[in-house]
Structure 1
Amino acid sequence: MTRGRPRTAIGTFGEIAVTDLGGSYRALARYRDLDGRLRKVTAVGSSPRAAQARLKERLRQRPGYGSGGVLDAGSGFGELCELWLADLALRDISEGTKANYRDDLRLHVRPAFEAYTLGEITTGRVEWFLKQQAAISYSRAKHLRTLLNQMFGFALRHDGIGRNPVEGTSPLARPKHQVHALTLEQVHALRAAAAEWRTGPGIKGPQPDGKVRDICEVLLGTSLRPGEALALRPCDVAETPSGMVIHVRGTVVRRAGTADYRQDHPKTHASNRRLAVPEFAAEVLRRRMARMGPDERETTIFHNRHGGVIALHNLRRTFRDFVVDAGLDGLGITPRWYRRTGATVIARGVGLDAAAAFLGHTSTAVTEGHYVAVDETVDTGPARALELTLRPIDPDPRLLIAPASAQEEDLLARVDAEQAAEP
């Protein structure tokens, strides 16, 4: 069977026919519009060449001329990068997340694919790239896969490709974690080191005021991200018949070229949450707030001598001293390990859903204006588990020494992934 004439591609036209009208000429072509229909387009000129030129100008100005989209298979990867970055700037996500995407694109993704057109970037090429990155760092490969998936999804929506090449790549194999949480012995050692830091004889300079020690106790008792703990204010704390409740609605962030500052919203929408606080951490917050005046309700509870926020790098630097003094250096312990530890305790003592909600990974709470009574909306189970397991006096070790489940591995992998994604 013989084939018919090839179908005209959308955004293109067929042969141009010129007709002599007696003193003028008409050029005509059939143009396939974005809806797939062929339509006649004409132009008149004083000569055949003039008529054709005028017709081509009309065709170029017609909506969808070329491909029907802003990209096509012949577009360079660099073109996609510029368009995607412009779209990224308009998205309703945190500036820190945007900065991480830009850095990953500049340092890793763009150098690997910039020499290709979109039509040349196959699933195999993406697979090879991700395997190379995974050999260096699982977390990096995971983030770059997310970035590429977003970029090629953007290209797909703008007619640059017919299929997202990331979708066919094999799952990344997450390496097994050797250590997920602090042991009770490590918790006690860090507490002792924090209490004795720079208090011995012969120490020069001002005596420590215990801020970082108290921040660590709050981190241990709340599983907050470090920036969330540093952003807490007296107006975020409420005493209820069931105990202290905090409202997490901000975080301290760090941006290149600026000092750390308090951002008026946490990392994600799910991170805006109310949490019951175990008594050992509530005592620390009460003691700190007792030193603050009534006009400081919107000042961070943990602030520097000028009333500003404590910088994240200062917290980490002092904590490294605690780790060394506790004899735990070499294990990679950071303030984030308190969040791992809390996640482990809550997952084993209350359940994975409760742990995820407490960490701010999921949330069933509505906006602040629609909260019902605090006692009825705040789950006190996680605080009870944390108090029982991590209190300074007579802690119960059973939850921390229990075996981990596969679901718990997934939860802790998310905790580690969010750490790697932040500056």
Structure 2
Amino acid sequence: MARARLGLGEAGDINTKRIDGTNRWRARVRYRDALGAYHWASAVGPTKTKATSDLRDKLDTLTGTAQIASVTTVGELCERWLDRALAESSAYWTRSDAAERRGSKPPRPQSMVHSVRAVRNIRARPGGIGDLRLNEATTLALETWLFEQAEESRGRAAEIRIVLRKAFHGAVRLGLLVTDPMAGVDSINRTDPRPIALKPEELRAIRSILTTSPNMQAAHTTVRNLDALIVILLGTGMRVGEAGALRWSDLDLDGHDPTVTISGTQVELKGKGVLRQDVPKTESSNRTLLLPPSVVDAIEGIRPAWWKPTDWVFPTRNGTPWNTGNAAKVLDRVVELSGGALQKHRVSFHKLRSTAATAIDEEHGQEIAGLVLGHKLTGITRTHYIARAPMAPDVRHTLERLVRSSLGTARVGEQETRKPAKGQHLRAV
């Protein structure tokens, strides 16, 4: 009788036999791997049962069934996807040419924090679905739970949905599931807030409270540097992370046209703290900006008497880059001290960037604003045929006027003309 044909990943009957002259047993079986090739596998043990058990464990690895057996719940599936995604992200973005390469790219390491948070919510006890078995994860069950999450936070639900879609898609691709239950789950409709441009009176209130209020509860150096940071964000439109990652080598203040070159951003990674990532948020964010006079004055006002090109423009007392999250806490304190003149939802570093973008758009249009802010070019011609100039358009006149509209009781360059002494740094708040 002909031997039965084995399917992919299947094994035949296990045969056992005592090894001649010993008290040990050998278990042997024929199996077919994932590519269709036939092989023999064997294992030896002190008893027939032990030899058979060891051979079954060996087969799990050889045929790939160990992976299927280990992924039995939604939580385990998402953890395995996350481990792979983190490894791919780390491997790609440690390449020296990562930013210049074209085509699809994995998320940057700092962006993976959203996926890590989503998996944590999926596996949360109670409230998560991490213990749900894969055969129980129907479209109805997944959609019902997701929309319960959306009632509390649409942003969180959207993050979770992205992870579940990727994890289940991978499960189908690897043969762990026949169909994808997430394929039929409806999308999470998010309502993003409209961009906010701060009014001149709000800008004046921020800087006036910051520099004159006796209740700021922040060191003088911290206040002065935060005011300079506000001026830089208003006068360049750069992201706060890009400003936090600036080194003195990125600035050219001595020429006829002072510039700042943006080639990195500040990130915070778990277990590593705050560090500079030598590629900005997107490949389009690499750019050189012309600096308005007010911004030059503000930067000169915080430049120490002794500095090295590799020193941070905004350092802590320990010589590390200032955590812009800590700087944001000082800005929150300004709102608290405003007595209602400032509203929390209108005051943030991102709103300063929006204010600069709005001012540029009103005088020069959206395309120029996008080039200054480092946004991606749109359209086939722009994306594939037009080389992007490293120098952003000159909008200094517009941004200089914006910065000067923020002047209150203190003027840029007049608030503190004395350069800090050597070794004087920002206080970590």
TM-score, normalisation: structure 2:
0.66
In the alignment, what sits opposite 1:287?
300
Q: Cα distance 1:60–1:191, how it changes in 2: closer, same or farther (>3 A)?
A: closer
The residue type equivalent to 1:84 in the other structure is W
1:229 to 220, 234, 243: 243
Provide the C-alpha distance between the structure 2 equivalents of 1:83 and 1:207, rounded to a whole number of angstroms.
47
In the alignment, what sits opposite 1:420?
none
2:330 to 294, 306, 318: 318
Provide the C-alpha distance between the structure 1 equivalents of 2:398 and 2:33, rounded to a whole number of angstroms.
64
In the alignment, what sits opposite 1:407?
none
In the alignment, what sits opposite 1:12?
10
In the alignment, what sits opposite 1:238?
252
Runs of 4+ in 1 over 6 A off after TM superposition: 14-18, 27-30, 40-43, 52-60
Within a 5 Å distance, the mapping from 1:52-67 to structure 2 comes to 61=58
| Aligned-residue offset at 1:235 | 0.1
The residue type equivalent to 2:239 in the other structure is R
| Aligned-residue offset at 1:276 | 1.2
Preserved contact between residue 193 and residue 322 of structure 1 (Cα < 8 Å) = yes
Provide the C-alpha distance between the structure 1 equivalents of 2:137 and 2:377, rounded to a whole number of angstroms.
38
Within a 5 Å distance, the mapping from 1:256-295 to structure 2 comes to 261-266=274-279, 268-270=281-283, 273-280=286-293, 282-288=295-301, 290-293=303-306, 295=307
The residue type equivalent to 1:299 in the other structure is D
The residue type equivalent to 2:10 in the other structure is T
| Aligned-residue offset at 1:109 | 4.8
Q: Cα distance 1:348–1:69, how it changes in 2: closer, same or farther (>3 A)?
A: farther
Preserved contact between residue 249 and residue 271 of structure 1 (Cα < 8 Å) = no
Deviations 1:108-144 (A, max 9, x none): 4555222222233233333223322222222222222
Provide the C-alpha distance between the structure 2 equivalents of 1:282 and 1:121, rounded to a whole number of angstroms.
56
Deviations 1:120-176 (A, max 9, x none): 323333322332222222222222222223323433343222344334332322225
- Tell me which moved more, 341-350 or 220-229: 341-350
Aligned pair count reads 365
Provide the C-alpha distance between the structure 2 equivalents of 1:270 and 1:351, rounded to a whole number of angstroms.
22
In the alignment, what sits opposite 1:162?
178
1:248 to 257, 262, 265: 262
2:80 to 83, 88, 111: 83
Provide the C-alpha distance between the structure 1 equivalents of 2:342 and 2:83, rounded to a whole number of angstroms.
45
In the alignment, what sits opposite 1:136?
152
Preserved contact between residue 194 and residue 213 of structure 1 (Cα < 8 Å) = yes
Q: Cα distance 1:246–1:59, how it changes in 2: closer, same or farther (>3 A)?
A: same
Q: Percent identity?
A: 22
Can you give the 5+ residue segments of structure 1 that lack an aligned partner in the other structure? Answer: 1-5, 19-26, 44-49, 365-372, 396-423
2:311 to 299, 302, 324: 299
1:127 aligns with 2:124: no
In the alignment, what sits opposite 2:120?
106
In the alignment, what sits opposite 1:147?
163
Look up the SS of the partner of 1:159 in the other structure.
coil
Can you give the 5+ residue segments of structure 2 that lack an aligned partner in the other structure? Answer: 17-26, 43-47, 94-107, 379-386, 408-429
In the alignment, what sits opposite 1:341?
355
The residue type equivalent to 1:76 in the other structure is T
Preserved contact between residue 270 and residue 361 of structure 1 (Cα < 8 Å) = no
Look up the SS of the partner of 1:246 in the other structure.
strand
Q: Cα distance 1:204–1:248, how it changes in 2: closer, same or farther (>3 A)?
A: closer
Look up the SS of the partner of 1:296 in the other structure.
coil
Deviations 1:4-54 (A, max 9, x none): xx9965322577999xxxxxxxx99985542458x69799xxxxxx8x999
Within a 5 Å distance, the mapping from 1:41-56 to structure 2 comes to none
Preserved contact between residue 258 and residue 296 of structure 2 (Cα < 8 Å) = no
Provide the C-alpha distance between the structure 1 equivalents of 2:180 and 2:367, rounded to a whole number of angstroms.
32
Look up the SS of the partner of 2:275 in the other structure.
strand
In the alignment, what sits opposite 2:208?
192
The residue type equivalent to 2:331 in the other structure is F
TM-score, normalisation: structure 1:
0.67
**RMSD of the TM alignment (CA)?**
4.7
In the alignment, what sits opposite 2:390?
377
